[in-house]
Structure 1
Amino acid sequence: MRMTISGPPGSGTTSLAKYLAQKHELRVISAGEMFRSLAKEREMSLADFGKLAESDAAVDKLIDARQKETAEGEDNIIAEGRLSGWMVSNADLRIWLSASLDCRTKRISSRDSEDETHARAHTEERQECERKRYLGYYNIDINDMSVYDIVLSSERWDVEGLGAIVDAAIATLRS
């Protein structure tokens, strides 16, 4: 089983990936974790590292190429990241999670211990920065859902509810 989980910041992709990985004994390959790790290595905030990535295409392209190569070359994985559904050409199942900006802002604010106003501004800035980069680098419109097999609202369902829906899809694919 090779699946991808994508969605905007704060939509719950990491939570769902971890949940499904544990339940189905899959390995998670997270583009976001790679990005955060590189920012930390360079002692930069995510916002500053995002600006670096905006000015230096090599940052994104390195992360994307590593995730694509690893995910396409292994079985029993979940590739989690904004572009995973577009980049992993041999995925068995592609999932997109959605939630309103208000919902995602509250989650990010709580997770990152920052006030909601700052979290909202940072999230909007990050989304716009990523949208421009992906269009420029790969001609991918991140708002195009046509590559996804399942589009789910993480605002409507918690991780267990999302997991149950995906479990049904996995069971169908495996039968």
Structure 2
Amino acid sequence: MLLTVSGPPGSGKSTTAALLADAFGLSHVSGGDIFRELADERGYTPLEFNKLAEENDQIDRDLDRRLREIAVDRDDLVLESRLAGWLAGDHADFRFWLDAPVRVRGERIAEREDKDPQRAAEETKAREASEAQRYLEYYGIDIRDLTIYDLSVNTSRWEPDAVLDMLVTAVEEYDSSGDEGKTPIADVSYDF
């Protein structure tokens, strides 16, 4: 089974993806972890590395290509990244989008990174705008288009365990016979 978890920074992707992987006995691959590792290896903060990626498209393309290969080659994992649903395409059994208001996401990021919540929210908005522009430019993907996702959840309304319960129920109750209404994206070439 291949499940994808996508959403903006601070939406609870990492927490939820890890819980989801545990619930189904799957591996968990995080694009955010890989991105932060690459930034750290090169001596940048994630925001600085994100700005560098604006000037050097190879950073995004290498990361996205690696995640796409994982999604295509494996079917025993939860793939988590901003573009996971797009990268996995029709290989995914279920695609989730998680979100929360920017204020809430800023507070979560501030706690995780030990910084001011207002600053974290501002940096998050700047990062999102930068990424949205790059995804559209590189791949023709409008990250705000949620029609590819099977379920979208506002994570500010529930604790992580309640979000997990919703997603597990959705997967367990999912009827794949209703796929004819889904937009196939594997037929589209994104040049990852």
In structure 2, distance between residues paired with 1:38 and 1:115: 24
Instruction: Give 1:117 shift.
Output: 2.0
Please list, as runs of the form range in 1=range in 2, the aligned pairs for 1:131-146 lying within 5 A after superposition: 131-146=132-147
- Distance in 1, matches of 2:98 and 2:23, equals 19
Match of 1:82 in 2: 82
CA RMSD of aligned residues (A): 1.3
Is the CA contact (8 Å cut-off) linking 1:4 and 1:91 kept in structure 2? yes
Given that 2:20 and 2:164 are in contact with CA atoms closer than 8 Å, whether structure 1 keeps it comes out as yes
Report the equivalent of 1:163: 164
CA positional deviation for 1:155: 0.6
Matched with 1:8 is: 8
Q: Using the TM superposition, give the Cα deviation of residue 41 of structure 1 relative to its aligned residue in structure 2, in angstroms.
A: 0.6
For residues 51-93 of structure 1, what are the alpha-carbon distances to aligned partners after superposition, in whole Å with 9 as ceiling and x for unaligned?
Answer: 1111111000101010110121112111101001111021000
Alignment check: 8 A CA contact 1:29 1:71 kept: no
Contact 2:71 2:87 in 1 (8 A): no
In structure 1, what is the equivalent of residue 152 of structure 2? 151
The equivalent residue for 1:27 is: 27
| TM-score (norm: length of structure 1) | 0.96
Counterpart of 2:188 in structure 1 is none
Structure 1 unaligned spans of 5+: none
> Which residue in 1 is equivalent to 2:180?
none
Q: Structure 1, residues 87-119: CA drift from partner, whole Å, max 9, x if none?
A: 102100000001001111111111110011211
Aligned residue pair count: 175
- After the TM superposition, list the runs of 4 or more consecutive aligned residues in structure 1 that deviate by more than 4 angstroms: none
1:71 touches 1:78 (CA, 8 Å); kept in 2? no
Report the Cα distance in structure 1 between the residues aligned to 2:28 and 2:140, rounded to whole angstroms: 26
Q: Pick closer, same or farther for the CA change 1:30–1:141 going to 2, 3 Å.
A: same
C-alpha contact (below 8 Å) 1:85/1:148 kept by paired residues: yes
State the SS of the aligned residue for 1:117: helix
- Report the equivalent of 1:127: 128
| Residue 172 of structure 1: how far off its partner (Å) | 2.2
Partner of 2:189: none
Amino acid at match of 1:33: D
Relative to the length of structure 2, the TM-score reads 0.88
1:96-145 alpha-carbon deviations (Å, 9 max, x no partner): 00100111111111111001121111111101110110000011111110
Aligned residues of 2:31 and 2:80 also touching (Cα < 8 A): yes
